[in-house]
Amino acid sequence: MNPSELLSELRRLRVVPVVTLPHVRHADPLGETLLGAGLPVAEITFRSSAAQEGIATLRARHPGLLVGAGTVLDRATVDQAVDAGAQFVVAPGFNPDVVDYCLEREIPVVPGVNSPTGVEAALARGLPLVKYFPAEASGGLRLLDAMAAPYDGMAFMPTGGLTPHNLLDYLSRPQVAACGGTWIASAALLAEEEYEAIGRNARRAAEIAAAAAP
């Protein structure tokens, strides 16, 4: 998968569950739940020790699921993500070393930005998509609208503070390819193995995304 193909797929899916796995045993039922809910994508964050094995499990058992690695902060984590089979990498900020290493390894990378400087750093490397993070804390839609205005060619994936209540507002922006959502499969829901609730959250997110489609 190249960066353009990833962007196209994210524009189709519109919402990406951002997941911190409490334990690797949660990966398989999570994948089954997301596929069953019609939201076949997950960003597995390296905020827990289960991330690498969880990504490998999802890729092996659920080939229909688009699986990315999140909270990638250094080259070693890029290697772990790629070795596990991650199809894309997401970072909370713009670390040139991490971005350039992902480009060397030919894995799509979505770095985090919340300023025009970050957007221009991404443009300089030919990246078609950046993560707007932390979206709500940085200024929400007001900052996104102002920041995106000069950059017609850049797509954004807002993440951070998004909920079912503001998701449609974000997805209605033409510059937004997809949104990241931590509420869909929170660590608390996974720890309690509340897969029915996760499925409801995923279906609701997919419904909102469908309502936002042009």
What's residue 74's pLDDT? 98
pTM over 0.85? The answer is yes
Q: Is residue 84 a contact partner of residue 45, using CB atoms and an 8 Å limit? A: no
Average pLDDT for residues 71-81, to the nearest whole number?
98
Whether residue 213 is predicted with pLDDT greater than 80 in this model: the reply is no
Contacts of residue 15, defined as CB under 8 A and 6 or more positions apart, other chains included, come to: 39, 41, 167, 171, 178, 179, 180, 181, 184, 205, 206, 208, 209
Active site residue 193: no
Q: Give the separation between CA 36 and CA 50, rounded to whole angstroms.
A: 23
With a cut of 90, say whether residue 206 has pLDDT above it. yes
pLDDT of the residue at 128 = 98
Q: 110: closest CA among 210, 188, 180?
A: 180
CA distances from 176 to 142, 158, 193, 208 (A): 13, 7, 31, 14
Mean pLDDT (whole number) for 6-12: 98
**How far, CA to CA in Å, does 23 sit from each of 16, 19, 46, 54, 85?**
20, 11, 12, 8, 18
Q: Quick check: 184 pLDDT over 70? A: yes
Write down the pLDDT at residue 211.
Answer: 93
Structural domain spans, the chain: 3-212
Instruction: With cut-offs at 50, 70 and 90, classify the pLDDT of residue 63.
Output: very high
pLDDT at 131: 98
In tens, the pLDDT along 137-182 reads 999 999 999 999 999 999 999 999 999 999 999 999 999 999 999 9
Q: What pLDDT shows up at residue 214? A: 65
Q: What local confidence, expressed as pLDDT, does residue 91 receive?
A: 98
Residue 43 annotated among the catalytic residues of the structure: yes
On whether the CB atoms of residues 52 and 84 are closer than 8 A, the answer is yes
Give tens-digit pLDDT for 83-124: 999 999 999 999 999 999 999 999 999 999 999 999 999 999
**Which architecture characterizes domain 3-212 according to CATH?**
Alpha-Beta Barrel (3.20)
Per the residue annotation, which of 5, 43, 192, 194 is the catalytic one? Answer: 43
Active-site choice (53, 131, 196, 207): 131
Write down how long the chain is.
214
Average pLDDT, the chain: 97
Whole-number percent of the chain with pLDDT over 70: 100
**pLDDT tens digits, 190-200:** 999 999 999 99
- pLDDT score for 152: 92
